[in-house]
Every structure is written in structure tokens, then in C-alpha cells.
């Protein structure tokens, strides 16, 4: 009887300890972010300080009033974006100078970069890259933009030291900072790569992905860090993919003309590059086959969605098992796509030039990042009983170039589009 009573008391104590752990004040001394281009602040075809300084990790850190050193890059930026032609890694071309922006130092003659950064996100990184990729000398790899960007972010200034220093993977680097709070945003690049290629098999096997993801989450939990993981957004919900009905205002025509002229269904998707090709054909009054990568069929989109859902199921299960918190970034992107989000007096949408996404149609602009940050801060406040203030997206939108993009005037160009279609049909 005594053993049974002791056992009951022990279980009660465990239960109370668990509740206290969940409601204990959140220690925000060291806020570290692991991720790829989205968390890094990619926008408008590259990584630069323009959006880095307004990225959702930076906004969260600012509202939590914690220091957050980022590897800021001088405009026009560096890095390639999947879906667009790759570039040779030529760094420091005018107007760039040092490429990395160095924060002010106490000694004006000391122009050294910070020894460590707290946003370790690397554009183009897959989950597997975060566990295996390391800095490689020389810093500039002419034929490897991905490695060059990695070197500029996590190999800088380490690659310049004369004596041996650790050259860490993104995961090792982030752990070495001993974060009290860790935000993990990984897996989006794999989904983007598969969606833009129209090939769901390019996405990782769920079991292999789960093994790697467990390694990452468990690594931080063993450091007693509070861990927040994000689900993977479905690339089909970004502005890079548009149904004929969504694409029609952008190319200044009617949905029916698009489906008829290009033999697609209302459920298929036209890519951002496809919309550009269509606009060029309309302008030249010469319709023809579209370049590869212009259309994502409804069937391929469904396969991508299923694969994304499978990986997100793994993320949620791992977070539950390891005691991490899940932020459903996928659901947020879906909400922007289906209903839009009200900012001030305007509803911004996931349409191309709709206010949420930058010109690359994949990564958000500053207003989009503010909305993501507010959503995550709301989750943090609810989970940890904190009261971090939210930002006012309307204030950010007032100076956000993404909010100034305008779609073409459909009524002004639709007659021309119709004339092109009629001419082609009569030939």
C-alpha cells in the first residue's frame, strides 16, 4: 500500500513538474534560428539586408527584446533562387564592397565582422545540408553559388584565421551557441525544388527526413533549449504557381483564353516564368508552345501536396515526442492563399503582385514577414504565457515596395489579348 502511495505521489509530482515546465517563463537570452532561404530573409531574387533586417526572425527577436546578430549582406545581394537561372559566384562587384555588412565597433578602426551570428539560415539548404555541409576554402567558389553563400554566412571570418578553428555545419554552429530558444525552419527548399521541377519524387523519403529531423530537434532539446519548429509551406500556395483564373489579371487576359490557347485545365497551374512567357507572346502577337517549367499540372500539384503533408506529419510527430512546439507555417501560407490577410485598409493575397510575395514569387516581402512574425509571437505568448507585443503590419506596409506592385489594367489590354487569340485561331 505504501509503495502504491509513493508511486501515486511520484506521478503527481511528475505531472506538476510537466505543467510548470510548460508555463515557466521563457528564457530568451540566446535566440538562434536554423533554416533556409525563408528564415534567412531571401526576397527579390537574392539575400540582402533590405529584407534580412525585416525578416520574421529579426522581428521576433526585436519584439522579445533580445540580441540577434545576422549576417547582413550588401544589396543587391547574393544567392540563387530555385526556378531561376543560376549565376556565377562573383562577389564584391559594384555597388557591393565588403559584401558582408559589419556592425559599428567601439573602435572606429576595427572593421571586423561579428565572430558569431544567431541567424544561421542558409539559402538553398536542405535538411541534409544542415547536417553535412561545411565551409570550404576559398571563400568564393566561382562555380558553386550555394557553397559561396554558405562560406559568406557561416565560414566568415573563420576561413580567414591562420590557426585551425572549427568549421561547423549549420547544425553544429547553432548548437555551439547554446541557444535558450531555437526556431527551426527547414524542408521548404526540398518542396520548392520538387514543385518547380514538377516531380514529387525529388522530395526526401519521409523516414529518412524524420531521422535527420529528429537529430536536429533532439540535439537542441538535450541542451535544454525551448524549440519551436515550423511546418513546411506547400509551394503550390505561393505566388509562383497560379491557376488560370489567378494568372489572367497578371497577363491581362481572360482565364478561358489561357486554357484554350495553351491546352490546360482550370485546375492546372501556370508558373511565374510561364506567366512571363505568356505576356511576351501576347505582346509580340505570336502564341506558341511555352518553355519547359511553365505549367504544373493539377495531378503533379496534388502529388507535391501529398508529399508535403507526409513530411509535415513527421515534423509534428517528432515535435510531440521531443517536447518541441509546432508553428503551422503551412496553414498560414494556405490562409494567405485562400482568404488573404487584411493589412490596414487592404487585403493582401498570394497572387503574383498581390502584396505578400516579393518579385521572385517565392519569398515574402517585409509585410509578409511581419505577418508571419506576429503569428509566431501569438503562438509563443499562448504557449509560454508571455506578453510580447505584436508589430503593426500597416506601418511596415507603408514603406514596403512589395505593397506598391500593381497588376496590369485588365480592361486596357484584354482586347489586345482577345485579338491575338482570334488572329491565331484564324491562321
- CA 286, CA 338: separation in Å to the nearest integer? 33
Helix or strand run (H / E) with residue 249: helix 244-251
Mean pLDDT to the nearest integer, 160-175: 87
- CA 204, CA 89: separation in Å to the nearest integer? 27
- CA 18, CA 24: separation in Å to the nearest integer? 10
- CA 109, CA 128: separation in Å to the nearest integer? 40
Q: Going from the N-terminus, what domains does the chain have, and what CATH number goes with each?
A: 27-426 (3.40.50.1110)
Encode pLDDT of 330-343 as tens digits. Answer: 999 999 999 999 99
Mean pLDDT to the nearest integer, 398-414: 69
Encode pLDDT of 185-221 as tens digits. Answer: 999 999 999 999 999 999 999 999 999 999 999 999 9
Residue 109, pLDDT above cutoff 70: no
Instruction: Identify the bridge partners of residue 185 per DSSP, sorted by sequence position.
Output: 35
Instruction: Identify the bridge partners of residue 242 per DSSP, sorted by sequence position.
Output: 270
Question: How much of the chain exceeds pLDDT 90, in percent?
Answer: 72
Is the CA virtual torsion 273, 240, 292, 145 positive or negative? positive
Half-sphere exposure of 386 (CA within 13 A, CB side): 21
| Long-range Cβ contacts of 86-89 (<8 Å, 24+ apart) | 86/145, 87/145, 88/142, 88/143, 88/145, 89/140, 89/141, 89/142, 89/143, 89/144, 89/145, 89/148, 89/149
pLDDT of residue 106: 53
Tally of CB atoms within 10 A around 82: 20
Q: Mean pLDDT over all residues of the chain?
A: 87
**Which stretches of 155-205 are DSSP H helices?**
170-176, 188-197
Q: Which grid coordinates are listed for 247?
A: 494568372
Instruction: For 287, list phi and psi in degrees, rounded to 5.
Output: -80, 150
- CA 355, CA 361: separation in Å to the nearest integer? 10
Tally of CB atoms within 10 A around 124: 23
Choose from 84-98, 99-113, 308-322 the range with maximum mean pLDDT.
Answer: 308-322
Task: Give the strand pairing for 241-242 and 269-271.
Answer: antiparallel
User: Which comes out higher in pLDDT, residue 94 or 68?
Assistant: 68
Q: Which grid coordinates are listed for 222?
A: 538535450
Please state whether the predicted TM-score (pTM) of the whole model is above 0.85: yes
- CA 43, CA 110: separation in Å to the nearest integer? 31
Residue 409, pLDDT above cutoff 70: no
Amino acid at each position: 500500500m505504501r509503495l502504491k502511495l509513493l508511486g501515486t505521489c511520484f506521478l503527481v509530482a511528475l505531472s506538476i513538474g510537466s505543467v510548470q515546465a510548460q508555463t515557466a517563463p521563457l528564457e530568451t537570452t540566446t535566440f538562434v534560428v536554423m533554416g533556409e532561404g525563408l528564415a534567412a530573409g531571401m526576397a527579390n531574387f537574392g539575400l540582402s539586408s533590405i529584407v534580412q533586417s525585416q525578416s520574421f526572425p529579426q522581428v521576433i527577436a526585436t519584439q522579445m527584446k533580445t540580441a540577434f546578430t545576422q549576417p547582413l549582406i550588401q544589396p543587391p545581394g547574393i544567392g540563387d533562387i530555385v526556378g531561376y537561372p543560376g549565376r556565377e559566384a562573383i562577389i564584391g562587384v559594384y555597388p557591393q564592397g565588403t559584401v558582408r555588412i559589419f556592425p559599428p565597433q567601439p573602435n572606429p578602426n576595427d572593421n571586423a565582422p561579428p565572430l558569431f551570428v544567431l541567424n544561421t539560415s542558409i539559402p538553398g539548404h536542405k535538411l541534409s545540408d544542415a547536417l553535412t555541409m561545411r565551409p570550404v576554402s576559398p571563400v568564393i567558389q566561382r562555380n558553386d553559388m550555394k557553397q559561396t553563400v554558405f562560406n559568406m554566412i557561416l565560414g566568415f571570418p573563420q576561413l580567414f584565421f591562420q590557426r585551425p578553428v572549427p568549421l561547423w555545419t549549420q547544425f553544429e554552429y547553432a548548437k555551439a551557441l547554446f541557444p535558450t530558444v531555437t526556431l527551426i525552419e527547414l524542408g521548404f527548399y526540398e518542396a520548392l525544388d520538387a514543385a518547380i521541377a514538377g516531380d514529387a519524387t525529388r522530395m526526401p523519403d519521409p523516414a529518412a527526413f524524420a531521422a535527420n529531423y529528429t537529430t536536429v530537434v533532439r540535439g537542441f532539446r538535450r541542451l535544454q533549449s525551448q524549440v519551436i519548429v515550423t511546418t513546411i509551406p506547400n509551394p503550390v500556395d505561393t505566388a509562383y504557381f497560379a491557376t488560370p483564373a489567378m494568372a489572367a489579371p497578371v497577363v491581362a487576359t481572360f482565364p478561358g483564353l489561357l486554357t484554350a490557347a495553351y491546352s490546360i485545365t482550370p485546375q492546372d497551374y501556370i508558373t511565374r516564368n510561364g506567366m512571363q512567357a505568356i505576356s511576351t507572346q501576347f505582346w509580340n502577337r505570336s502564341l506558341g508552345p511555352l518553355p519547359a517549367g511553365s505549367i504544373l499540372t493539377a495531378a503533379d500539384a496534388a502529388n507535391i501536396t501529398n508529399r508535403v503533408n507526409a513530411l509535415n506529419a513527421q515534423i509534428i510527430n517528432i515535435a510531440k515526442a521531443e517536447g518541441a512546439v509546432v508553428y503551422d507555417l503551412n496553414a498560414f501560407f494556405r490562409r494567405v492563399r485562400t482568404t488573404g490577410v487584411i493589412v490596414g485598409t487592404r487585403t493582401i493575397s498570394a497572387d503574383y503582385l498581390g502584396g505578400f510575395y516579393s518579385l521572385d514569387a517565392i519569398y515574402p516581402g517585409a509585410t509578409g514577414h511581419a505577418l508571419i512574425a506576429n503569428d509566431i509571437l501569438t503562438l509563443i505568448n499562448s504557449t509560454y504565457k508571455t506578453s510580447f507585443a505584436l508589430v503593426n503590419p500597416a506601418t511596415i506596409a507603408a514603406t514596403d515596395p512589395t505593397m506598391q506592385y500593381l497588376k496590369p489594367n485588365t480592361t486596357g489590354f484584354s482586347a489586345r489579348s482577345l485579338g491575338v487569340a482570334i488572329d491565331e485561331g484564324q491562321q
